[in-house]
């Protein structure tokens, strides 16, 4: 868990997977941008098969910390390891490929000082191929519909977070794209700031079109978690009751016409009625099971998030 040790101001967290030609120039760019500040830079080598680790190891900067994964676990896992290792009061994740610009970090910190918990980078002038930008537009639109967050560019890695943000935040799958939404839901104050975005000069992008599908599935999980994590029975129960109810109505209609003498054995509606009732009952059972699972999940952690606690028990009874 992040703690602010030794007055360390900033932890720059950089996941790197096969970025051998980018890592050293990035360290230099961060050094230039954060000159005079108390910071550390944590690289998480996510199982690179090129010389990323050797180049990092060859760098003697005392502010550099390196975490090396045994294999490629993905960007979210790499970020999570970096966040857990970070000791700064503010955590600034960024890509290793020089597409984010460290020169933006001081501006993000300034904005954070205006009283926000997160300042989210927004690549307003994004330098990626058209296909990627279009996919991202679609994903952002869908995210707004499903998750209702107010963030334009959730996928931009460059952001600034107060270290408290990560307490109790579990990151897995491709969840790093939804961190601002998850934090907003937990009550943290979010601001946005347009940041510079460059073309990738060295190395290749690690993502292809399949990321859209994974991102969509993760979005469903985030949306479900935000709306129903405390009481999943409300979702599955409502679905179950509606489906079963429809099944009963179909059955009732068929029973009435049967009583009036019309044969119903060959009617597709009969099949539908049976199907709806079975599926509805399954939904309800599923809801009960999920509720039990969630109860176990929340046994060790609260369903709420406390910002501050004041305790007057040791002081006089006065309000002056």
Write down the least CB distance from residue 121 to ligand UDP, Å.
12
Minimum Å gap between C-beta 227 and Mg ion is: 31
Interface pick for Mg ion out of 99, 136, 223, 243 (rule CB under 5 A): 99
**Which of the listed partners (ligand UDP, Mg ion, none) does 78 bind, with a CB threshold of 5 to 8 Å by partner kind?**
ligand UDP
Specify the pairing of strand 90-93 against strand 10-16. parallel
Half-sphere exposure of 107 (CA within 13 A, CB side): 14
Tell me which residues in 34-53 interact with ligand UDP (CB under 6 A). 46
Q: Give the count of beta carbons closer than 10 Å to the beta carbon of residue 32.
A: 10
Three-state SS string across 134-164, please? HHHHHHHHHHHHHHCCCCCCCCCCCEEEEHH
Minimum gap (Å) between residue 95 Cβ and Mg ion:
5
Q: Which residue in 218, 275, 206 sits closest to 50, CA to CA?
A: 206
Please name the residues in contact with 208: beta carbons below 8 A apart, sequence gap of 6 or more: none
Pairing state between β 90-93 and 159-162 = antiparallel
Query: Least distance to ligand UDP from the beta carbon of 60, Å?
Result: 22
What are the φ/ψ torsions at residue 14 (nearest 5 degrees)? -125, 110
- Per CB under 5 A, which region of 5-13, 87-95, 112-120, 145-153 contacts Mg ion? 87-95
Cβ-based neighbours of 318, under 8 Å, separated by 6 or more: none
* From Mg ion, ligand UDP, none, interface partner of 17 (C-beta below 5 to 8 A by class): ligand UDP
Alpha-carbon distances, residue 37 vs 9, 33, 88, 90 (angstroms):
7, 9, 11, 12
CB atoms within 10 A of CB 15: 29
E strand segments, the chain? 10-16, 39-45, 64-68, 90-93, 118-122, 159-162, 190-194
Residue 104 partner contact from Mg ion, ligand UDP, none using kind-dependent CB cut-offs of 5 to 8 Å:
none
In the complex with ligand UDP, the residue whose CB is nearer, 49 or 205, is 205
Minimum CB separation of residue 206 from ligand UDP in Å reads 4
Number of residues that bind Mg ion (CB under 5 A): 3
Question: Could you tell me which stretch among 16-24, 95-103, 105-113, 180-188 binds Mg ion (CB under 5 A)?
Answer: 95-103
Nearer to ligand UDP, 208 or 301 (CB): 208
Question: Alpha-carbon distance 12 to 88, whole Å?
Answer: 9
Pick the binder of ligand UDP from 9, 72, 140, 196 (CB under 6 A): 72
17 near ligand UDP (CB under 6 A): yes
Q: Copy the structure tokens of residue 125.
A: 């002038």
Among 124, 206, 214, 231, binds ligand UDP (CB under 6 A): 206
Nearer to ligand UDP, 40 or 95 (CB): 95
Interaction between residue 136 and Mg ion (CB under 5 A) = no
In the DSSP assignment, the letter for residue 228 is H
Of 97-116, binders to ligand UDP (CB under 6 A) are: 97, 99
> To the nearest whole angstrom, how small is the minimum distance from the Cβ of residue 85 to ligand UDP?
15
- Binding residue for Mg ion (CB under 5 A) from 45, 97, 174, 218? 97
The encoded tokens of residue 104 equal 């933006």
Calpha distance 176→172 (Å, rounded)? 8
Q: Is position 19 an interface residue for Mg ion (rule: CB under 5 A)?
A: no
**Which residue number, 204 or 315, has a Cβ lying nearer to ligand UDP?**
204
Please report, as ranges, the residues that interact with ligand UDP according to CB under 6 A: 15-17, 19, 46, 72, 74-75, 78, 95-97, 99, 205-207
Please report, as ranges, the residues that interact with Mg ion according to CB under 5 A: 95, 97, 99
């Amino acid at each position: 868990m992040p703690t602010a040790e030794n007055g360390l101001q900033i932890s720059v967290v950089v996941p790197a997977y096969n970025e051998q030609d980018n890592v050293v120039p990035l360290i230099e760019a961060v050094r230039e941008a954060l000159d005079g500040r108390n910071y550390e830079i944590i690289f998480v080598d996510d199982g690179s098969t090129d010389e990323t680790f050797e180049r990092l190891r060859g760098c003697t900067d005392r502010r550099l910390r390196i975490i090396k994964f045994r294999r490629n676990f993905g960007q979210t896992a790499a970020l999570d390891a970096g966040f857990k290792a970070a000791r700064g009061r503010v955590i600034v994740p960024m890509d290793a490929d020089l597409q984010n610009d460290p020169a933006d970090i001081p501006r993000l910190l300034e904005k954070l000082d205006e009283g926000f918990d997160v300042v989210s980078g927004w690549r307003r002038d994004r330098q990626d191929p058209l296909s990627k930008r279009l996919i991202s537009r679609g994903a952002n639109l869908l995210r707004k519909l499903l998750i209702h967050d107010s963030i334009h560019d959730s996928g931009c890695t460059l952001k600034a977070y107060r270290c408290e943000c990560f307490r109790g935040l579990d990151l897995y799958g491709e969840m790093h794209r939804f961190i601002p939404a998850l934090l907003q839901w937990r009550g943290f104050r979010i601001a946005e700031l347009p940041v510079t975005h460059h073309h990738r000069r060295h190395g290749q992008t690690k993502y292809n079109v399949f990321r859209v599908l994974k991102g969509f599935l993760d979005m469903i999980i985030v949306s479900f978690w935000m709306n129903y994590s405390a009481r999943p029975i409300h979702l599955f129960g409502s679905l179950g009751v509606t489906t079963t109810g429809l099944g009963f109505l179909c059955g009732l209609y068929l029973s009435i016409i049967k009583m009036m003498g019309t044969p119903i054995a060959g009617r597709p509606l009969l099949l539908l009625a049976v199907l709806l009732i079975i599926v509805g009952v399954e939904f309800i059972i599923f809801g009960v099971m999920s509720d039990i699972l969630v109860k176990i999940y929340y046994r060790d952690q609260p369903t709420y998030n406390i910002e501050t606690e004041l305790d007057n028990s040791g002081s006089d009874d006065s309000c002056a």
